[in-house]
Structure formats: C-alpha cells, structure tokens
Amino acid sequence: MPEVVAVYPGSFDPVTFGHLDIIERGSRIFPRVVVAILRNPQKRPLLPLARRRQLLRAAVRPWPNVEVDAFSGLLVDYARSRGAGVLVRGLRAVSDFEYEFQMALMNRRLDGSIETVFMMPREDFAYVSSGLVKEVAALGGDISGLVPPAVARALARTLRRGSR
C-alpha cells in the first residue's frame, strides 16, 4: 500500500488545543499529515493567513510528519494535488455532525477516491471552538489552556489593534 497522506483542512482562526489534539492523533495514525488552511478572504478571518500559518507551524513542531500549507478552491482538488487519500475532520459533539456529514458526502461525490475520517478530540476540548475562543478573548476572558500561549498573545495584539 502506498504511503497514506492525510489532509486536515480548516480555517484555524485561530488554532486551538482541540485542533492540536486532532493533529496529534492523526500524526500517530497516518505517515504524513498536511494541515491545510483555507485561503478564503470572504470568511473575513480575524488573523491574516500568514499569521495563522506561522502560529500553526510553531504549534506542530513536535510532530515531524506534520506540515502546514494553505489552499484555495475545492478541498478535494487540493487533496488530489497533494496525493492525499484521506481527509481528517474533528467531531466534537452531535451538533457538529450534520454539517460534517454533508461535507463528507459532498466531497465523496466530488471525488470518490478520497475518504473522510472523523476523529474525536479529548473530552476537555469538546466545547472549544475558534469562534468561542475569539469571543471570550474579545470580551477580556481568560483563554489560557484553550490555545497555545503564542496564539493567545497574537489574538490579544490583534484585538487591541482593532479596538483602537
């Protein structure tokens, strides 16, 4: 069997410990994991792509078989261009399921040779999302323990700049 490459796609605005938990699990199962950041200005991310990529690269350093890249267009096209046969997505709760199920089936329709694999993060991170982390940070709450310290600093800096 050829070496399986897995793509773990997302917005990562910002990367959280929940994402990193999935990345670590993926890195133990797949010989190569490509963390692929969606390049989509329409989503109006808080952190620019370059910053998200830099923060992710620093965060995945412990796992030598994990790399960070960015993509635009269809995910399956990108996965194919990387020789990936697997898409990894995290499932935190039943509420994630419907959207993830739709995406997985649409991606399968677009390319039946690419399989979506769902992974559950550690229970402690089941409620952690980038959106909630940004909201709590914007309102002055403590986000340590939810994101790496460098991410917390980047968010604080960006939010400070935005409020000026």
Q: What's the sign of the alpha-carbon dihedral 55, 53, 117, 98?
A: positive
Shortest distance, CB of residue 113 to ligand PNS, whole angstroms?
15
Does 81 help bind ligand PNS (rule: CB under 6 A)?
Answer: no
Q: Considering the complex, state which of residue 9 and residue 26 has its C-beta at the smaller distance from ligand PNS.
A: 9
Helix extents (H) in 60-148: 75-81, 94-110, 130-138
Binders of ligand PNS in range 24-43 (CB under 6 A): 38
Exactly one of 6, 8, 9, 155 binds ligand PNS (CB under 6 A); which one? Answer: 9
- Concerning whether 130 is annotated as a catalytic residue, the answer is yes
- Whether 23 and 64 have beta carbons less than 8 Å apart is answered as no
CA dihedral 50, 34, 102, 14 (to 10 degrees): -30
Does 74 help bind ligand PNS (rule: CB under 6 A)?
Answer: yes
**Which helix (H) or strand (E) is 34 found in, with range?**
strand 32-38
Exactly one of 5, 75, 79, 88 binds ligand PNS (CB under 6 A); which one? Answer: 75
Q: Considering the complex, state which of residue 110 and residue 138 has its C-beta at the smaller distance from ligand PNS.
A: 110
Cα separation values, 125 from 73, 82, 114, 139, Å:
29, 29, 27, 20
- Whether 148 and 155 have beta carbons less than 8 Å apart is answered as no
Does 16 help bind ligand PNS (rule: CB under 6 A)?
Answer: no
Exactly one of 5, 10, 53, 66 binds ligand PNS (CB under 6 A); which one? Answer: 10
Residue numbers at the binding site for ligand PNS (CB under 6 A): 9-11, 38, 74-75, 103, 106-107
Q: Looking at the annotation, which residues are catalytic?
A: 19, 43, 92, 130
